[in-house]
């Protein structure tokens, strides 16, 4: 993509800096099993499915902007074909966490359009770099 990426020390709240301007925080999750119970017409059905949980908050609070993008990597060592990546801009975050539930159908929730959207980081990095040179 023609970008410069530097890793940051663990003392900072973000993990990478792209083009000396755009902060990216990595969130990596492995699947866990979740139980879900549904009652229909007086009958109870219980399901178990894989889920990946990503935290955006620090100590239960999401108040001060500390990154520009989250790169959420859902890793599945047993089934690499099920792995997924979401590039989520800070402005798109609507809660403290993101849960990606595995099922028969592909995830189609709030962040579905951000699947593999690395272009957002590239676009932001090029835009800020251009503005910085002009100013």
pLDDT digits (tens, 9 = 90+) for 67-92: 999 999 999 888 777 789 999 999 99
Q: Which residues of the chain have pLDDT under 70?
A: 127-135
Q: How many separate domains does the chain show?
A: 1
Distance spanning both ends of the chain, measured CA to CA: 24
Structural domain harbouring 11: 5-134
Question: How high is the pLDDT of residue 131?
Answer: 41
**What does the alpha-carbon distance between residue 28 and residue 75 come to, in Å, rounded to a whole number?**
7
Place of tokens 């801009």: 89
Q: Quick check: 5 and 18 in contact, CB under 8 A? A: yes
């Amino acid at each position: 993509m023609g970008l410069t990426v530097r890793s940051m020390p663990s003392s900072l709240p973000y993990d990478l800096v792209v083009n000396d301007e755009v902060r990216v925080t990595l969130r990596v999750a492995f699947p866990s099993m979740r139980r879900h119970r549904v009652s229909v017409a007086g009958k109870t059905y219980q399901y178990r499915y894989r889920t990946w949980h990503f935290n955006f908050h620090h100590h239960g609070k999401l108040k001060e902007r500390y990154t520009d993008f989250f790169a959420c990597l859902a890793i599945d060592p047993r089934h690499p074909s099920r792995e997924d990546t979401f590039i989520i801009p800070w402005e798109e975050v609507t809660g403290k966490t993101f849960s990606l539930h595995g099922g028969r159908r592909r995830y189609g929730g709030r962040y579905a359009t951000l699947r593999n959207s690395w272009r957002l980081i590239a676009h932001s990095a090029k835009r800020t770099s251009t503005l910085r040179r002009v100013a």
